[in-house]
Amino acid sequence: MHIRRRAALGGLLAAALPGLQAYAQPSPATLLNVSYDPTRELYAAINPAFAKAWQAQTGQAVQIRASHGGSGAQARAVIDGLEADVVTLALQPDIDAISERAGLVAPGWRGRLPNGSVPYTSTILFVVRKGNPKGIHDWADLVRPGVGVITPNPKTSGGARWNYLAAWGWALRANGGDKDRARAFVAELFKHVPVLDTGARGSTITFAQRGQGDVLLAWEDDANLAVRRMGRDRLEIVVPSVSIVAEPVVAVVDKVADRHGTRALAEAYLRFLWTPDAQEIAARNFYRPTDPAVLARHAEQFPNLPTFTVADALGDWPAVQREHFGDGGVFDQIYKPGQ
Amino acid sequence: MRRPVLPGFGLATGVTGVYLGLLVLLPLAGLLAKAGTTEPGRAWALFADPRTLSAFRVSFGVSAGAALVSVPVGLLLAWVLERYRFPGRRLLDAAVDLPLALPTAVAGIALTTLYVPDGWMGRLLAPLGIAVAFTPLGIGVALLFVALPFVVRAVQPVLAGLDPEADEAAVILGATPWQAFRLVVLPPLLPAVATGAALGFARAVGEYGSVIFIAGNRPMVSEIVPLLIVTKLEQYDIPGAALLGAAMLLLSFVLLAGINRLQGRSGGRHAA
């Protein structure tokens, strides 16, 4: 009986194999996208859309996996050997680090995709408790006595670096470009921070669920998500007089994609982010599309506030990174005792 | 040297050596080698930084505090579990180990939710002017949580081996209950108490998951060394992180060796 069953099984397999092979051609490809924390929902929507488009175009099935975490921690994981085909991170220095420290991304990566490799942008807004009981309307209000500000640690969080630079940029403008006064403002701002979480999502939870602080500095997309999830009857968004253009960046991890033989797929995946379909998905997730037509369609959900880029306000990113967030940089000095 | 009755010294030592070498010595050697690549000037600057010193004070100070508090509480718990029979005793006994099994991040989140100013516990403490969450006191609560099982589990078997007739005899012979406890029950327990406290302390110093949620992580106030290490890694400062790790290792080693010595002395005196 045993033998008969085995023979039957073998027959079944033999019959199925050619079918399987036909089904498997061309063989399905996989791609790993290593991304930062708040993009979970975004890429959960973009990945199936791309897989469909790619299969329609090439006939190849593709499986895209995404990994999320703090932007800096994700960059470090890639440097340490996480086999990412593409990275989609919160800010330029994190991909620069992968390029410079591990040589995995070719130098000049920002020139290979449109718009300096920035597929969608965001900005930094305030979230306050319903009715705005402390009357917080602009950056200056954050340092009033008795106001608690929730923001993560810029050393460990990409979003926190945008918060910090937005505050710095506003203070420069408000003080006629006086760096000492900008620094004094940012130092004062961090004296109002009762909890320094390690990541943006942590801060959102501290503010929204634990009820700490009076105002949360957040990515526009995270702010909208918090208000939607926690309820419009508890939280509201405040748009300051001016903020920063937060520019998340994307790149193919050249060495890994070449080793996996996924370069064409990886490049197509990133280029897909600039198509109207993907831009539409980005807009629906509260990322500002770089495609003006899509942005115009969603204009009502993106408050029209004056914004500045890091380059406008502070200079180029590597220098900003060193000066403000490097060891012994401005952020470290803010916490020196007696200052 | 007396020959042990069971054979196999060579094999046993070999297995132990390979095991310790692969799992403990190799990673530690890597850590020390990495730490050694830092230029002395930078290493000095790192350890002279008031923020580093503050983190070391917080980490070791609060861990020592938690270990000390866990001694009387752990003793009491072990006493209750060993000397009394009551319904639910086995359940309570099993619950003591829960802090070891629970992911510490879960513990941290739960404790934070309880102790924020408008949480269940925080609301009671706030009118008294006591803030727990986002202060060093909060770190202490989280560390007490992870350190307590070690004291209980170290003391329990020794206490089980003590004959209750000994303290009964002491009381019958005219000792007050306090004297009976201090002179009859406590001395044989002391080495176990020291072991439990030392294990709890070691565990607390290395704790990251639960502390990160309740500490508030403010530099100079409630920042612990493990967080500083993670921060260094995020900045790709791997030698700096290794240096901090090596310093923690060294300091813990010296402290634990000290405790062991004390324990050896008190154990010896008891035997004599």
Domain boundaries in chain A?
6-119+248-274, 121-246+305-334
Amino acid occupying residue A138? D
**Mutate which of A189, A212, A324, A332 to disrupt the B interface (most B C-beta within 10 Å)?**
A212
- Judged by CB atoms closer than 8 Å, whether chains meet at A327 and B134 is answered as no
Alpha-carbon gap: B109 to the closest alpha carbon of chain A (Å): 10
DSSP state of B21: I
Same fold, A6-119+248-274 and A121-246+305-334: yes
Question: From the DSSP assignment, how many helices (H) and strands (E) are in chain A?
Answer: 16, 11
Higher confidence at residue A2 or residue A175? A175
CA distances from B216 to A223, B224, B226 (A): 21, 10, 14
Task: Please give the model's pTM, rounded to 2 decimal places.
Answer: 0.80
Q: What is the pLDDT of residues A81-121, one digit of tens each?
A: 999 999 999 999 999 999 999 999 999 999 999 999 999 99
Which residues, in sequence order, are bridge partners of residue A243?
A307
pLDDT at residue A28 above 80?
Answer: no
Helix runs in A175-262, H state only: 179-191, 200-208, 220-230, 254-260
The rounded distance, in Å, linking the Cα atoms of A92 and A76 is 14
Task: Name the closest residue on chain A to residue B209, using Cα atoms.
Answer: A198
pLDDT at B266: 61
Could you tell me if B61 and B255 are in contact, meaning their C-beta atoms sit under 8 angstroms apart?
no
Per-residue confidence (pLDDT) for residue A1, from 0 to 100: 41
Mean model confidence pLDDT for chain A? 89
Give the angle A207-A213-A214 at the CA atoms, nearest 5°.
Answer: 100
Q: For chain B, give me the number of helices (H) and strands (E)?
A: 15, 0
Say if the Cβ atoms of B134 and A194 lie within 8 Å: yes
Residue A122 pLDDT: 95
> Between chains, do B217 and A197 touch, taking CB under 8 Å as contact?
yes
Nearest to residue A91, comparing CAs of A330, A323, A311?
A311
In the predicted structure, residue A17 carries a pLDDT above the cut 50: no
pLDDT digits (tens, 9 = 90+) for A264-302: 999 999 999 999 999 999 999 999 999 999 999 999 999
Residue A213 CA to residue A79 CA, distance in Å, equals 36
Burial track A53-81 (b if 16+ CB lie within 10 A, e otherwise): bbeeeeeeebebebbbbbbbbbbbbbbee
How far is the alpha carbon of B174 from chain A, nearest alpha carbon, in Å?
A: 56
- List chain B residues with CB under 8 Å of A328: 45
Q: What's the DSSP call for residue B110?
A: H
Max CA-CA distance within chain A?
A: 91
* Residues of chain B positioned with their CB less than 8 A from the CB of A156: 230-231, 234
Q: Is-contact B226 B205, C-beta < 8 A?
A: no
pLDDT at B216 over 90: no
Whole-angstrom distance, CA of residue A115 vs CA of residue A290: 8
Domain B38-271 maps to which CATH number in 1.10.3720.10, 3.40.190.10, 3.30.9.10, 1.20.58.220? 1.10.3720.10
Distance from CA of A37 to the nearest CA of B (A): 15
Please indicate if any CB of chain A lies within 8 Å of the CB of B236: yes
Please name which of A83, A110, A82, A68 lies closest in space to residue A318, comparing C-alpha atoms. Answer: A110
Closest chain A residue by Cα to residue B213: A197
Please give the CATH architecture assigned to the domain spanning A121-246+305-334. 3-Layer(aba) Sandwich (3.40)
Distance CA A225, CA B72 (A): 47
Distance in angstroms between the alpha carbons of the first and the last residue of chain A: 86
pLDDT at A24 over 70: no
At residue B270 the predicted structure's pLDDT band, cuts being 50, 70 and 90, is: very low
CATH topology (fold) of A6-119+248-274? D-Maltodextrin-Binding Protein; domain 2 (3.40.190)
Q: Does the CB of A298 have a partner CB in chain B at under 8 Å?
A: no
> What b/e sequence results for A92-107 when a residue is b if at least 16 CB atoms lie within 10 Å of its CB, and e otherwise?
bbbbbbbbeebebbee
